[in-house]
Structure 1
Amino acid sequence: MPAGAPGPVEESDTKGGLRTALNGLTTRGRSFLAAGVAAAVCAYVLGQDDLLRVGLLLAVLPLICATVLHRTRHTVSGSRRLSPSRVPTGSEARVRLRLDNASRLHTGLLMLQDRVPYVLGPRPRFVLDRVEPGGVREVSYRVRSDLRGRYPLGPLQLQLNDPFGMCELTRSFSAHDTLVVIPRTEPLPALRLAGAAAGYGDGRHRSQALAGEDDIIPRGYRHGDDLRRVHWRSTARHGELMVRREEQPQRARCTVLLDTRRTAYRGAGPGSAFEWAVSGAASAAVHMLERGFSVRLLTDEGSPLPGGSADGFAGPAQESADSAGLMLDTLAVVDHSDGGGLSRAYDVLRGSGEGLLVAFFGDLDEEQTAVAARMRQRSRAAVAFVLDGDEWARGGEAGTRATAADRLRLLREAGWTAMAVPPGAELARLWQQAGQEGAGTGSSVAGSTTGHSGGWS
């Protein structure tokens, strides 16, 4: 549900009538009813009219309270507003609850309760005084989570009590909201490396990239169009002037690869290596989209981001903000894969792997290091952030294993700009360091959309 939109106010249980109301009698109400019936029986046996009147009063009072309360529950509506509906980990969202009394009578004491997952905090409860006819009450509470995910909010429950405490009824509303907790992104510096790469990540010549290619699908003539762009064959077929579409500039491409293998990481929780990798992939994807790149989010299972183009890239056909939101929503629920290798991701990159490749790897054995090294062959430039699971599990107390250092060396020999990620490292600093190392070694990285050669931003 969009932030700020009230939810529908349908009732989940609309049947039951008086039986439902009687089931809501409290201990006090049941005691009054039992005492009234007993007094009436005794009055009938003893022939005491005064005792009969007392018995009838005791028995009728809880029944009247239950009937009035049952009618009231159908005239009280509730709604929820969530703002914002997408928050980074560790940030708060505000939930506003609104209660409307559409009846002509005052309500009794009300208790409002909203269901939230335990990771968002304690279940909020509010006690409201009597609401006048046509009156409105609004309350709010905050939720936050240090864990990514999609969390349902609701249903909203309303507990009604009569002034005498004879009856207690609960009404549930079917409206739900969903809070999406996305990985926290880190702003990254804009870098440019010297190199001989073409200005665009798709590998075309700079002149072609700047000029673009004509779209062979013609469109109808519009006032002011250059007559030199008339497509005469389509004009003859359609019976009206048709012109070639304007040239569309090509965008640089970037693939962000996230290693999600369960065997590649140790530990769990907000400070784990896997959560750092997810946050890093989100930061890199958002940064490249903001710099005008077409970005594809890829996992070790070879699954690209849903909603992209046919080849998985997002950006050119939709606004960057929408693409970033879609990627962050995907990363909010990404989890470990049970796969043991990177071969599926390699197959995808081998089919369309041109452009810039930014990878976030967990532990790499000798076989997976060889697969990762081959990924570099189709990319203009490749940057790898490698997390040593054992070092993260130890909290960085000991140095990186010799085998991990060997994996970095093999990746660098294959052309990667490979960076070791110590526990708690800042991605912005590693990003800057990767740019400096790439410039120092003469690595070529896909250029920016301005057409300058040899840069990555």
Structure 2
Amino acid sequence: MRARPLTARGAACLLLGVVLCAAANILAARALLYVGVLLIVLPLIALLAVRAPRRRGDVWRQISTDLLAVGETSRVTVRFELYAPGIPRGRWSDTLPEAVRGDATGEYPGESRLLHYDLEGVRRGTATLGPLLLRTVDPFGLAQRVQAFGQTRMITVVPQVVALAPLPTRLGAAGGAAQTRSTRVGQGADNLIPRAYLSGDSRRRIHWRATAHRGSLMVRQEEEEASPDAVVVLDRAASRWQSAGGAVDPAFEAAVSLCASAALRFAQDGYSVDIFDSAGSLLGALRGHEDDRDGLLVALATVTPRGDSRDLRTIVGGTPPGPLVVVTGAIDPDAAARLSTAGASAPMLIAAGARADALAVAADRGWNVAALPPAADPADVWEAALPQAKAAHD
């Protein structure tokens, strides 16, 4: 932030002094000359008084939440240690990125060295807070000085997560860790004899300990009986979304939020969850650890529309999942006709900006479908796509 060395008052004072000196020369009025010189000297003395002192400062920031979600408010505490002759008076302000908003200003010095303000997440992504700016003026308000102190701090704004309704209980038999079946009763997963990897096996079944021991890919044999997994796919193909010029696409933001919410809903219900993008890249995996949740949200904080879509069967692999959720954008009937349910027990397709006839085609192919308008409540859209909602409608 660059500020003029003189305030509006100081600039006016200097200009008036120059005018009076010129008038005094024309009118031969010595009194006007004295006043003009005084008005010229005052801003210069004020400028020297404000800018001459050497100042340095240290800044520490503490944010009440490690990850700030869109629509969430977090408290920021800033400790500002200023080393300077005397105590300058002015206003402090912390530099905020576009991803957040808040009233990060106040009088300096305050009652303590701790400065406080609230932040609200408004846009997904990573951004930086800071530096801290201190604007000081002289007692007459003629000159000003703006200095930056401290380092910046990275902040991550993650997608908003909303509470969603659980899937019908009857679908638990098709997936979910609590309902996993195995013919090898009493044996742990690590004690089962793994088998060699075959083409078409799901990547989720790879037995990493056996792979490291054998030197070749091995898979877990016990998952042949039933899959305990849920899969969520975020279709980020560029052709599905409107993101020209780097502008925020509200439809894509709603899709990312619903993707995160669906994955966490499945994890809460006991499923092991894999989250892929439409190109087959793994965005996150939820296995019951808190770090998994944070890792997924951080990954989703920076996703953007790009690339093309792959066939769902190549993403899911040879073992059909239990629940399968695909969150996509504007698809046409031809694209909907090519969407395979990959043998999932509960396939759900939620589309933002899709045509009604495209959703009808997908429904005919076995999908439980729902449209996702940008301003809609994600919880209502999710409930409309649940298999039980479709059954009630039929």
Query: What's the TM-score, normalizing by structure 2?
Result: 0.67
Larger fraction in strand: 2
2:342 to 376, 380, 383: 376
Aligned length: 330
Tell me by how many angstroms 1:438 deviates.
7.3
Render the CA deviation track for 1:312-339: whole Å, top value 9, x for unaligned.
Answer: x3315xx1x2211111122222211142
Are the aligned partners of 2:177 and 2:228 in contact in 1 as well (CA < 8 Å)? yes
Change (3 A) 1:193 1:153: same
2:53 counterpart residue number: 69
Name stretches of at least 5 consecutive residues in structure 1 with no aligned partner.
1-22, 36-54, 218-246, 391-399, 442-457
How far 1:300 moved relative to its partner? 0.8
Aligned mate of 1:90, from 60, 71, 92: 71
Deviations along 1:280-338, whole A, 9 cap, x unmatched? 11111111122222211111121112xx5xxxx3315xx1x221111112222221114
Q: 2:152 corresponds to which residue?
A: 176
User: 1:270: Cα distance to partner?
Assistant: 8.0
Report the CA distance shift for 1:314/1:407 in structure 2 as closer, same or farther (over 3 A): closer
- Match for residue 215 of structure 2? none
Letter in 2 for 1:278: V
Task: Between the two structures, name the one with larger relative contact order (CA 8 Å, sep ≥ 6).
Answer: 1
- Answer yes or no: is the 8 Å Cα contact 2:163–2:261 preserved in 1: yes
Alignment equivalent of 1:157, drawn from 133, 136, 140: 133
C-alpha distance 251-351 of structure 1, shift in aligned 2 (>3 A): closer
How far is 1:437 from its partner?
A: 5.2
Task: Report what 1:235 is aligned to.
Answer: none
CA contact (8 A) 1:115 1:154 kept: yes
TM-aligned CA deviation for residue 165 of structure 1: 6.4
Task: Confirm or deny that 1:348 pairs with 2:335.
Answer: no
Partner of 1:330: 299
Matches within 5 A, 1:277-316: 277-305=255-283, 313-315=285-287
> Judging changes above 3 Å, is the alpha-carbon distance between structure 1 residues 191 and 166 closer, same or farther for their aligned structure 2 residues?
closer
TM-score normalized by the length of structure 1: 0.59
Match of 1:106 in 2: 86
Asked if the contact 2:230–2:273 (Cα under 8 Å) also holds between the matched residues in 1, the reply is: yes
Distance in 2 of aligned mates of 1:123 and 1:425: 29
Identical residues among aligned pairs (%): 25
**Secondary structure of 1:69 counterpart:** coil
Kindly name which structure, 1 or 2, has the bigger radius of gyration based on alpha carbons: 1
Quote the Cα distance in structure 2 between the aligned partners of 1:356 and 1:276.
21
1:50-79 Cα offsets, whole Å, 9 max, x none, are xxxxx9xx8996798468611xx13x4333
SS in structure 2 of the partner of residue 376 of structure 1: coil
Q: Taking structure 1 as reference, are residues 407 and 252 closer, same or farther at Cα in structure 2, changes over 3 Å only?
A: closer
Q: How big is the shift at 1:147?
A: 2.5
- Structure 2 counterparts to residues 149-298 of structure 1, below 5 A: 149-161=125-137, 163=139, 168-194=144-170, 197=173, 205-208=181-184, 211-215=187-191, 252-265=228-241, 272-298=250-276
Tell me, in whole angstroms, the C-alpha distance in 2 between the residues paired with 1:262 and 1:297: 19
Residues 1:420 and 2:387 aligned together: no
Structure 2 unaligned residues grouped into runs of 5+: 19-37, 194-221
CA distance in 2, matches of 1:264, 1:210: 48
The RMSD of aligned alpha carbons is 4.4
Shift in alpha-carbon separation, 1:63–1:159, aligned structure 2, 3 A: closer
Rounded Cα–Cα distance in structure 2 between residues aligned with 1:201 and 1:178:
37
Whether the aligned pair in 1 keeps the contact of 2:227 and 2:321 (CA below 8 Å) is no
User: Which residue, out of 344, 362, 371, partners 2:329?
Assistant: 362
Aligned-partner SS, 2:287: coil
In the other structure, the counterpart of 2:23 is none
* Letter of the 2:325 counterpart: V
Residue 146 of structure 1, CA deviation: 3.2
- Please state if 1:138 is matched with 2:118: no
Could you say if the C-alpha distance between residues 263 and 199 of structure 1 is closer, same or farther in structure 2, counting changes exceeding 3 Å?
Answer: closer
Distance 1:120 1:188 in 2: 26
Q: Tell me the residue number matched to 2:60.
A: 79
Q: For residues 285 and 403 of structure 1, what CA distance do their matches in structure 2 show?
A: 25
**Contact 2:352–2:371 (8 Å) recurs in 1:** yes
